[in-house]
Structure 1
Amino acid sequence: MPATVHPSAPSGRTPATAALRFAGGWTLSFVPLLVFLTGCVAYFVVFKAFDMSALAMSAFVGLLAGAVACREHARYWDAAVRGISSPASVTIVLILFVIGMYSELVKTSGVAGGFAWLAESLGITGAGFTLFTFLAVCVVAVSTGSSIGTMFTAFPVFFAAGASLGAEPAVLAGAIVSGAVFGDNLAPISDTTIISSSTQSFRTRPGTADVGGVVRSRAPYALVAAAASAVVFALLGGAGDGAARAPELAEAAAPRGLWMLLPIVAVLVVAVRTRDIFRAVAVGLVLGTLTALVAGLISPAQVLSVADGAPAGYLVTGVGAVLGTVALVIGVFGIMGVLVEAGVLERLTSALRTGRLGRTPAGAEVAIAVGSTATTVLFGGVNSASMIAFGPVADEIGGRVGLHPYRRSNVLDCFAMGLGCVVPFLSAFLFIGATLVEANGASISAGALFAGTVYPLALTAVMVVSVLTGWGRRFEAADSSPVKAPPAA
């Protein structure tokens, strides 16, 4: 198959174009990426400062550092601009802004409080409470599309109540992190779902993988891993009887929050059936706002208003909440544009294509799995950033052997949401979880939290089986539909 530039590629360079030149050779094209990785480790691992804006700053500083080493200054910045303005980058940015408003609506309306009321009403304790927490956090995370946002919402509600209700603290904390990762893995409005979809292009027609189709094809892997996790939490989640009433749970309980399940279900159904994430979010915003207002979950001022001379309301705060992530997307795609123009992506994919892994569909999937996991570990478990960086590589590796964009997206995303994002002492998820545990008056080591965070480990096991056996492997037919048979040579 001849080398071509597909819609997801972050640059317009073709093999016929001379590679961007650096003063010390092509290896110095990695300077922007190395500076960015250093920033990831410094902020997320060393200082435990979890801020996407800081990571974006590291990316832009990396671009400036790379420009110093480049012999073609003007062309260097042209490459960065082409990466930033690529269809994949622009699509991700646009979706993030739209989804930011909907996600903020769901958070403001108090879905977690509805589940807290349900747990208290049913009198669930011990391992049952840990299992209930996992399932509830899964729903909240799918609803908001934000794993970290869900963790900040769920820990004060569920972990604070867990000890008095007889839950095993480390397993309970792991259940919360697991539920958050599940939502990030499967939610159609998750930034990671959007990134893993938008970086995988069709070969038989223009465009990238649609979010709805990716979610539908990903559901079997995520649900199998979630079911296995639920069994573990049900068996190991209890430390005692814990019949005491938890004041934290009672304080957070609000049954009206469950009304928001109506727009949440509507968003999921529309996204999967129409494969149009913009239509799904529009339905969610309209129906969700009306539901929240009628149920008394929010006031009109919480939709859009001005407070003390400053704009307020979930529409404004929703856009503001994603600005750091948008800046990160822009910075990383700029770096990818430079790497592509320097010929790095071409060298990598050529090496894989001529090697043993790149010759077969199974080998290509192994390469994507290993690359996605390793990149996520290097990025400190920040899987959105790792998928932005490795997504174009996965697109080329898998596309050359005819793997369908859905399958490429699933292998890329599921391994990034697996073991790679919860490696002890390197994982942003574990650091944030441990920090939130301390904020609620307990102390759990990263190692103990890792052992309790079952879902990413189960997801990795499920995907290893899928890659080795070919379960769920699909190829791109001439009409771009997913089929079981590989394309003709």
Structure 2
Amino acid sequence: MTTKKGNFWALLPLIAFILIYFTSSIILNDFYAVSAIVVFMVSLIIAMIQFPKVSFNSKIEAFCKGAGEETIILMILIFLLAGAFGSLGSTTGAVTSTVNLFVSFLPPSFIVVGFFLIACFISISMGTSVGTIVTLAPIAVEMEKMLPGSMAMLLGAIVGGAMFGDNLSFISDTTIAATRTQEVDMKSKFKANFKIILPAAIISIILYYFLSQRFETANVNNNLLEYDLILLLPYLLVFGLAIGGINVIWSLIIGILSFVAIGIFYKSIPFLDLISSINSGFTGMFELSILCLIIGGVVGIIRFNGGLEFIIDKLTKNIKSKKQAELSIAGLVALADAALANNTIAILIVGRVAKEISNKHDLEPKRVASILDTVSCFVQGIIPYGAQILAAVAVTKIAQENTYMVSPVDVISNLYYPFLTGICILLFILFINNKQSKLI
């Protein structure tokens, strides 16, 4: 267990963020009325002036270490590359072509289900939920023209499918973190994990099918829709490389280069226009990237002052059974992810404590790894300030009016898969006994 003494007041910056951000958003019924970055800057100021006996330089160092966590920097890099990849898809016409191909062959009643399944496939292939969302969300926005009123449900289906893959992919950071901290191989964790989330996926498909029947297609002649299979090659290339085990960063870089090549040699798009498109993709991810840095830094100070240790102490001191041990691990990673808005870092922080609880109560490592990964993905998928929902909503921005076509609440109300996953993991812990389980 950790030797640092827990301190409740170290959590004050996080409490302040929750009170200011959520209260103002609920009162104004708009999660963008008050910028999350501004609120986290207030939290940072609170963290800096807390505990005056602690040197300011120590707090700055803790902030920099937290903001500079390897997973945060890696995530920002993926944000930027995914933004450029998605922007080039729009510039070259690949997004429109994909939509037209989709509509030409897929009956309207299966479009939402199709988006969910494709998001599942892409996220498993790429190992990144945000990359999946940034890739597919622009297509959902275009699809609104042909399936009016469907955008929020389509984005919900995409976010849900993205979290499905984030939870299962062999190259996902969450899978790597969960399996490494619990010292279990990925194959064992995958098998255990798949059994937990399969019912949630099946029920989600059924719900999306029946609930999407209310949408009426616009007056579009499918036979007149034009699409170009060559424009789809970068998408297929990225997915294929990811399936082949290529790192998602290299996959996205190769995808970007393939879009540039198609733009120049096939579509005759000026090179500077393509560079401008890449820059636009980067720019679209700047706010999200800065937010991740600030969150990581604030959490670094909270950790330095003993805030996370306080949470750990409270959740683990009264464990008496295997079921309670697993519930405590689930609760711990849920709170950590709600606080961090980053499921990978949440697993890394909680993983060591979870391993100690697992050893003490003789839990199966593959079960613990599955619980860590599934619960963190469940929470990450539903928090309105998480990167996944923010990325989904960001593509609906109307630049001229500085407004959004849908809100995080609209997307959350259509997130059937993540909520069903939360129910499934709870039922798994409560009713599917650990093979080694006995009360102690």
TM-score by length of 1: 0.65
> In 2, are the aligned partners of 1:430 and 1:450 still within 8 Å (CA)?
no
Counterpart in the other structure of 1:300: 271
> In 1, are the aligned partners of 2:326 and 2:429 still within 8 Å (CA)?
yes
Counterpart in the other structure of 2:165: 186
Q: How many residues align?
A: 415
1:367 to 299, 305, 328: 328
1:326 to 264, 275, 289: 289
Give the distance between the partners of 1:70 and 1:253, measured in 2 at CA: 61
Q: Say which SS state the counterpart of residue 161 (structure 1) adopts.
A: coil
The residue type paired with residue 376 of structure 2 is D
Give the distance between the partners of 1:44 and 1:254, measured in 2 at CA: 43
Counterpart in the other structure of 1:96: 76
Counterpart in the other structure of 1:35: 16
The residue type paired with residue 74 of structure 2 is L
Give the distance between the partners of 2:390 and 2:16, measured in 1 at CA: 22
Counterpart in the other structure of 2:305: 342
The residue type paired with residue 94 of structure 1 is L
1:259 to 230, 233, 256: 233
1:113 to 83, 88, 96: 96
Q: Say which SS state the counterpart of residue 238 (structure 1) adopts.
A: helix
Q: State yes or no: 1:399 paired with 2:355.
A: yes
TM-score by length of 2: 0.71
Task: Give the CA deviation at 1:235.
Answer: 3.5
Task: Give the CA deviation at 1:93.
Answer: 0.9
The residue type paired with residue 461 of structure 1 is I
Superposition pairs of residues 17-416 of structure 1, within 5 angstroms: 26-41=7-22, 45=26, 46=28, 48-50=30-32, 54-74=35-55, 77-82=57-62, 84-85=64-65, 89-110=69-90, 111-122=94-105, 124-125=107-108, 127-136=109-118, 145-146=129-130, 149=134, 153-163=138-148, 169=149, 173-187=152-166, 194=173, 196=174, 202=180, 225-239=200-214, 245-246=219-220, 255-270=229-244, 273=245, 276-287=247-258, 289-290=260-261, 295-296=266-267, 300-304=271-275, 312-314=276-278, 316-356=279-319, 360=322, 362-373=323-334, 385=341, 387=343, 390-391=346-347, 393-400=349-356, 401-402=358-359, 403=365, 406-407=369-370, 409-416=372-379
Q: Which consecutive unaligned segments of at least 5 residues does structure 2 have? A: 360-364
Counterpart in the other structure of 2:422: 460
Greater RCO (Cα-Cα under 8 Å, separation 6 or more): 2
Task: Give the CA deviation at 1:252.
Answer: 8.8
Q: Which consecutive unaligned segments of at least 5 residues does structure 1 have? A: 5-13, 21-25, 164-168, 305-311, 474-483
Structure 2 CA distance for partners of 1:35 and 1:227, relative to 1, 3 Å: same
> In 1, are the aligned partners of 2:133 and 2:391 still within 8 Å (CA)?
no
Structure 2 CA distance for partners of 1:278 and 1:219, relative to 1, 3 Å: farther
Structure 2 CA distance for partners of 1:317 and 1:81, relative to 1, 3 Å: farther
Give the distance between the partners of 1:385 and 1:149, measured in 2 at CA: 18
Structure 2 CA distance for partners of 1:238 and 1:59, relative to 1, 3 Å: same
Give the distance between the partners of 1:445 and 1:324, measured in 2 at CA: 17
Task: Give the CA deviation at 1:157.
Answer: 1.8
Structure 2 CA distance for partners of 1:328 and 1:364, relative to 1, 3 Å: farther
Give the distance between the partners of 2:24 and 2:18, measured in 1 at CA: 10
> In 1, are the aligned partners of 2:343 and 2:380 still within 8 Å (CA)?
no
Q: Say which SS state the counterpart of residue 8 (structure 2) adopts.
A: helix
Q: Say which SS state the counterpart of residue 341 (structure 2) adopts.
A: helix
Deviation per CA, 1:358-396: give whole Å up to 9, x if none.
Answer: x63x434423434555676x67xxxx7264784455324
Task: Give the CA deviation at 1:201.
Answer: 8.5
Task: Give the CA deviation at 1:120.
Answer: 3.2
Identity %: 13
Q: Say which SS state the counterpart of residue 295 (structure 2) adopts.
A: helix
Deviation per CA, 1:461-480: give whole Å up to 9, x if none.
Answer: 33334434569x9xxxxxxx
Deviation per CA, 1:241-264: give whole Å up to 9, x if none.
Answer: x57633899789655442223222
> In 1, are the aligned partners of 2:181 and 2:348 still within 8 Å (CA)?
no
> In 2, are the aligned partners of 1:226 and 1:455 still within 8 Å (CA)?
yes
